[in-house]
Amino acid sequence: MAGMNHTEELGEFLRARRAQLTPEAAGVTSYGARRVPGLRREELAQLAGVSATYYTRLEQSQSTNASESVIDSIGRALNLNDDEKVHLHDLARPAKAKRRAPGKPDQATPGTIRLLNAMTNVPTVIMGRRNEVLAWNPLGHLLVAGHTDLDAPSRPFDRPNLTRMLFLDPHTKDLYRNWRDEASLAVASLRFIAAQHQDDAELTQLIGELTLKSPDFAAMWTKHPVQQCVSGVKRFHHPEVGDFDLSFEVLHLPGASGHRMMTHVAEPGSTDAAALELLSATNETPVARHVPSRI
């Protein structure tokens, strides 16, 4: 993938969602046999209050000037959820690409690192916008990637990437009892992020790499799922302490960096909490080993 064409992405998203919307769900009277699933273009256009010709141009990536009101109407006609509506706007009216000057490798801020080190009993990972690991505390490292080098996040060109590991690293695949659900959420989240950063060459390269190397990723990506990942439950099958579940929260850090903090907690007094305590007992390192890069 040399780059992501937002008009092609828009057409792909519209076609995928139109195919998922049945005439019954849309309140459309169906006439005759249908060669493909979902609504016809002219039916969707009628629901959105736009001409069939104009809507067809959008799907065929021949129009880039849709108004806010038209985008909103199409989103309502497609019965999109809130995340999907944001995604549709990002694709239809992308932010103007900015020429990026070469800069220093991305780093978690000193304040974030201090907070990370203070959360000794909460497995925590600091991620960049592409899901690369900028830092983790020892318990976070043991939870999600204990088979890797604790110091890896301090090396900008050798950092673990949680999405890459989920699809290409066998140890990470085995870490989750419901791997396919984890993978589907990761793809949906990456779709949401990619539409907001369409000029990010490294993100485009990551998507291209995963599409080529992982048939699972390629199949999931083609379906164009969209979801902003903010909270949920992760069901672990951990090599050190066995099966347990943890709730996770993804906190977006201030600024325009796209940095996020993912924390994991267990229900107090539960067997999950006991498993987390057992995992914590294997940790002998008092603070996160994260040092600024000299590159």
Whole-structure pTM over 0.75, yes or no?
Answer: yes
Q: Say what the pLDDT of residue 285 is.
A: 46
**For residue 38, what pLDDT band results from cuts at 50, 70 and 90?**
confident
Q: Is the pLDDT of residue 39 over 90?
A: no
Contacts of 42 (CB under 8 A, 6+ apart): 52
User: Both tokens of residue 229?
Assistant: 């990942």
Taking residues 202-229, report their average pLDDT. Answer: 93
Taking residues 119-124, report their average pLDDT. Answer: 94
**Could you tell me which residue, 25 or 136, shows the higher pLDDT?**
136
Taking residues 71-85, report their average pLDDT. Answer: 91
Q: Is the pLDDT of residue 224 over 50?
A: yes
The listed range with the strongest mean pLDDT (152-156, 257-261, 264-268) is 264-268
Q: Which of 137, 182, 170 lies closest to 279, judged by CA?
A: 137
Q: Is the pLDDT of residue 97 over 70?
A: no
Query: Is 259 within 8 Å of 124 (Cβ atoms)?
Result: no
- The dihedral sign for the CA sequence 276, 279, 283, 287: negative
Q: Quick count: other Cβ atoms within 10 Å of Cβ 219?
A: 11
Q: Say what the pLDDT of residue 94 is.
A: 67
* Dist CA 203 CA 208 (whole Å): 9
Q: Say what the pLDDT of residue 5 is.
A: 56
Q: Is the pLDDT of residue 292 over 70?
A: no
